[in-house]
Amino acid sequence: MAHKKEKTFQFMIVGGGIAGVTCVEQLSSQIPSADIALITAGSHIKAVTNYKQVSKTLEEFDVEERPSSVLEARFPNLTVIHPAVKSLNTQSHTVETADGRVFGYEKLCICSGGRPKLLTQDNPYVLGIRDTDSAQAFQKQLSKAKRIVIVGNGGIALELVYEVEGCEVIWAVKDKAIGNTFFDAGAAQFLIPSLEADKPERAAPCRRPRYTTEEPAAGASQTFTAESGSALGPDWHEGIVLRGAETGFVARTHPLTVPFLFPFHALNFSSLPVGTWPVYILLTNGKTFGCDFVVSATGVVPNTEPFLHGNNFALADDAGLQVDDHMMTSEPDVYAAGDVCTACWEHSPLWQQMRLWTQARQMGWYAGRCMAAHVLSEPIELDFCFELFSHITKFFNYKVVLLGKFNAQGLGPNHELLVRCTKGQEYVKVVLSGGKMVGAVLIGETDLEETFENLMLNQMDLTQYGEELLNPNIDIEDYFD
Ligand code: FAD
């Protein structure tokens, strides 16, 4: 870093997604006099609105994309800096931005999120969806498409398969059941009929308004690439029409892995089906499908590159920055939160990290608290929100609540499942280990989340109740009150 340091901030946060913005909010409210910088690649930040604590650990909120100036107006001691961070020097406690400016920090929190794992890089027919810009690029291509292939089996793939209309969808999944990041085969079976059913009319307006990006001021440079925006949130497809060029809708599942992808000119033409699609995809069962484009929805890679060179960060197996129970990385005075980090403390038996919206908020909030506590020399303990994994979302228009080891993660054969299912209405699965409830999947309006959450947190021995636990004629809430 040859350039002269412009200024040193007491706290510096990198990334204007949910983790970074929540960290800024927490620090500003705890130490209002603190000099804080938020360095972010895009001109917009993500703000949590309508936050609601549903139960002890479950939370719900909306997300709005706002110009970063809104945050500066709220916090007079905050300076928002663009463009992105290009490099970090942890020894000199400085960062350099893409336009060559250098800033110092006393404490830094990296919240740079992740980017989609793509099946193949730089192929115009392979799209990843991460932010508003890439969602719009997808929508544009979809409007001309007759057939697309969706690869992946997580939340994004599930939502896409349900939301896309007017286009044939080939869904390539490597697992035996759909949605295996969140569900087991039973829950998948419960959800599949929704793919063929008519979708309910959507009356709700888009909850996350999109502000137009202002032109950069004359002379100012701006870096804003598809990869550098914040990740979209739970309602990312609301307000964008996901409609292809055809009428009608077909979803097909192929329980296969996808090792190869190549433009059609690279193939032996004699082996191809008649017709010319822009791209063909070969699945491991040997079948080839032509399509207009492929959506790669196979997870994210933590955005760590600008921070690694010349530093000594410990990285986890999933390439995230390792953080301890104070959200600290292996480098002094450097914290990390959200999708970019990997929680490497000893987890509570009922919690696991998943790169989700709620965890980005919780980690950003807790990182802010830890940074403040360290500066104020106050003790701080791991927050209660990391006691029990909990997540509320919607899939195929059903409310979905996931609690604890909802898919018996890490339990081996040492567990028992209880399932109650009413077709088209609800699916309830409970995971028991040693007679205690350790996880649950609740699909539909079950109203069981609070009671089950308590049973998990209390670790009450439920052996004597057996299958009665899910007896629909027993008011379980009353029962355990
Ligand atoms: P991000 O939101 O990715 O923010 C990272 C920020 O860092 C951005 O502002 C970016 O501009 C900035 N940045 C990156 N590099 C640099 C740099 N070098 N210098 C400066 N700034 C930088 N989660 C759910 O819980 N429920 C869902 O239903 C759900 N659906 C999703 C649907 C889609 C299509 C996607 C892509 C994700 C979805 N997620 C969902 C996941 C969720 O969006 C992420 O877990 C969450 O947004 C992560 O927040 P973050 O703040 O860590 O990172």
Q: What is the three-state SS of 414-430?
A: CCEEEEEEECCCEEEEE
In a domain, 220, yes or no: no
Q: Is 74 in the same domain as 131? A: no
pLDDT one-digit tens code per residue, 411-425: 888 899 999 999 999
> At which of 298, 320, 353 does a domain end?
298
DSSP of 74-117: H-TTEEEE-S-EEEEETTTTEEEETTS-EEEEEEEEE---EEEP
Distance of CA 140 to the CA centre of its chain: 23
In a domain, 154, yes or no: yes
The more confidently predicted of residues 332 and 178 is 332
| pLDDT tops 60 at residue 347 | yes
> At which of 357, 386, 415 does a domain end?
386
Q: Is 63 in the same domain as 38? A: yes
pTM above 0.80, yes or no: yes
Q: How far is CA 189 from CA 159, 209, 337, 435, 456, in A?
A: 16, 35, 35, 27, 26
Q: Is 120 in the same domain as 106? A: no
pLDDT one-digit tens code per residue, 150-177: 888 888 888 888 888 888 888 888 877 7
The reported pLDDT for the residue numbered 135 is: 80
Q: How far is CA 481 from CA 269, 416, 452, 455, in A?
A: 68, 24, 12, 11
Cβ atoms 135, 159 nearer than 8 A: no
Count of domains forming the chain: 3
Q: Is 193 in the same domain as 284? A: yes
Q: Is 365 in the same domain as 475? A: no
The reported pLDDT for the residue numbered 240 is: 64
CA distance 55 to 330: 34
Q: Is 293 in the same domain as 311? A: no
Question: Ligand 1, atom 28: nearest CA belongs to which residue?
Answer: 234
**Of ligand 1's atoms, which has the minimum distance to the CA of residue 235?**
28
| pLDDT tops 80 at residue 25 | yes
In a domain, 378, yes or no: yes
**Of ligand 1's atoms, which has the minimum distance to the CA of residue 131?**
36
In a domain, 375, yes or no: yes
What is the spatial order of strands in the sheet that 250-255 belongs to?
126-127, 293-296, 147-151, 168-173, 250-255
In a domain, 12, yes or no: yes
What is the percent of the chain where pLDDT is above 70?
A: 84
| 300 C-alpha to ligand 1 centroid (Å) | 10
The reported pLDDT for the residue numbered 268 is: 44
Q: Is 150 in the same domain as 232? A: yes
Mean pLDDT for the chain?
84
The reported pLDDT for the residue numbered 206 is: 32
CA distance 293 to 342: 32
> At which of 277, 298, 319 does a domain end?
298
Q: Is 85 in the same domain as 154? A: no
Q: Is 281 in the same domain as 407? A: no
Token duo for residue 214: 């202002």
pLDDT band at residue 219 under the 50/70/90 scheme: very low
The reported pLDDT for the residue numbered 274 is: 54
Q: Is 273 in the same domain as 135? A: yes
| 215 C-alpha to ligand 1 centroid (Å) | 23
Phi and psi at residue 384, in whole multiples of 5°?
Answer: -60, -30
Measured from CB, residues less than 6 Å from any atom of ligand 1 are 14-20, 39-42, 46, 84-85, 111-113, 129-130, 155-156, 228-234, 236, 303, 306, 338-339, 355-358, 360, 393
In a domain, 218, yes or no: no
In a domain, 210, yes or no: no
Token duo for residue 223: 């870096």
Q: What is the DSSP letter of 182?
A: T
185-196 and 155-163 helices cross at what angle (nearest 10)? 20
CA distance 408 to 411: 5
CA distance 240 to 254: 27
The more confidently predicted of residues 472 and 382 is 382
Largest CA distance in the chain: 73
Q: Is 97 in the same domain as 243? A: no
pLDDT one-digit tens code per residue, 263-295: 444 444 445 555 688 888 888 778 888 899 999
State ipTM: 0.98
Token duo for residue 274: 């008649």
Domain that holds residue 338: 7-113+303-386
Pocket test of ligand 1: the residue of 59, 134, 159, 236 to mutate, having most ligand atoms within 8 Å of its CB, is 236
Q: Is 246 in the same domain as 323? A: no
The more confidently predicted of residues 123 and 338 is 338
What is the percent of the chain where pLDDT is above 90?
A: 54
Cβ atoms 263, 278 nearer than 8 A: yes
| pLDDT tops 90 at residue 184 | no
| 292 C-alpha to ligand 1 centroid (Å) | 27
Q: What is the DSSP letter of 385?
A: G
Q: Tell me the CATH number at 258.
A: 3.50.50.60
Q: How far is CA 458 from CA 26, 93, 127, 441, in A?
A: 30, 44, 45, 18
Provide the 3-class DSSP secondary structure of residue 470: helix
| 141 CB-contact burial (10 Å; exposed 0-12 / middle 13-18 / buried 19+) | middle
